[in-house]
Chain A
Amino acid sequence: QVQLQESGPGLVKPSETLSLTCSVSGNSVITDNYYWSWIRQPPGKGLEWIGYISYSGSTNYNPSLRSRLTISVDTSKNQFSLRLRSVTAADTAVYYCARVDITIFGVLNLIDFWGQGTLVTVSS
């Protein structure tokens, strides 16, 4: 069974960098069948797509976050990570890591496995 688990600080100060890691078990991140993604959900609000990475390091980011965002992958640890710079209170959210299924044509299809989510609060 595939499992994803987010880890990282639950409190980040404004203007600092939010860093989270997603540990994947039950599936190698080295695969052409899936992308590895981050999604967030501000308290009481809807889901927001952050971006994704392939095992080879190709990325695609939400344009609204692109200037502050880096997603990376560590195949040796079967993990991928998120770094969001210069955070503000608007970045307070539950952050999910998830697996995105890709069709044989390379099209993003569905999100089939999610981590449990981790709440990150931006506050001084």
Chain B
Amino acid sequence: QSALTQPPSASGSPGQSVTISCTGTSNDVGGYNYVSWYQQHPGKAPKLMIYEVTKRPSGVPDRFSGSKSGNTASLTVSGLQTEDEADYYCISYVGTNNLVFGGGTKLTVL
């Protein structure tokens, strides 16, 4: 299966909102509500931020939210903080009992 498409980069100033997209097909993002988002700081393992499109694990700030429309899922970070600067990856269930990954987006807080 092909990787999910994410923009290579995104940016925003502290306090602003930024949205990162994750585009797939009807076989993955569009076909299932099993899209999750991960934050990765340099040299660290990824951390789960959003699962099942819109749900936040305990401990993740409510500044992070997820949504989906058609074959595109989105992660929105509101009230940007400097510690939000990181790489973000989306992952979707793709049927055949497998997962497909996005290429990652580097979020810069200006």
Binding site for B on A (CB under 8 A): 46-49, 60, 96, 100, 103, 106-112, 114-117
Q: Please, which residue of chain A has its CB at the minimum distance from the CB of B34? A: A109
- In the bound complex, residues from chain A placing their C-beta under 8 Å from that of B46 are 47, 96, 111, 114
- In the bound complex, residues from chain B placing their C-beta under 8 Å from that of A109 are 34, 36, 51-52, 93
CB distance from A10 to the nearest CB of B (A): 15
Q: Is B10 positioned at the interface, with any CB of A under 8 Å from its CB?
A: no
Say yes or no: A108 contacts B34, CB within 8 Å: yes
Interface string of B16-49 (1 = CB under 8 A from A): 0000000000000000101010100000011110
Say yes or no: B45 contacts A106, CB within 8 Å: no
CB distance from A98 to the nearest CB of B (A): 8
Say yes or no: A108 contacts B98, CB within 8 Å: yes
Q: Please, which residue of chain B has its CB at the minimum distance from the CB of A102? A: B97
Q: Say which residue of B3, B32, B52, B97 sits within 8 Å of A110 (CB atoms).
A: B52
- In the bound complex, residues from chain B placing their C-beta under 8 Å from that of A49 are 98-101
Q: Please, which residue of chain B has its CB at the minimum distance from the CB of A100? A: B99
CB distance from B17 to the nearest CB of A (A): 24
A-B contacts, 10 listed (Cβ < 8 Å)? A46-B103, A46-B104, A48-B101, A49-B99, A60-B98, A96-B46, A107-B34, A107-B97, A109-B34, A109-B36
Say yes or no: B48 contacts A117, CB within 8 Å: no
State in angstroms the CA–CA spacing of A49 and B99 once bound together: 8
Say yes or no: A111 contacts B104, CB within 8 Å: no
Residue of A47, A110, A115, A117 with highest tally of chain B CB at under 10 A: A110
Say yes or no: B101 contacts A46, CB within 8 Å: yes
CB distance from B28 to the nearest CB of A (A): 11
Q: Say which residue of B36, B47, B98, B104 sits within 8 Å of A47 (CB atoms).
A: B104
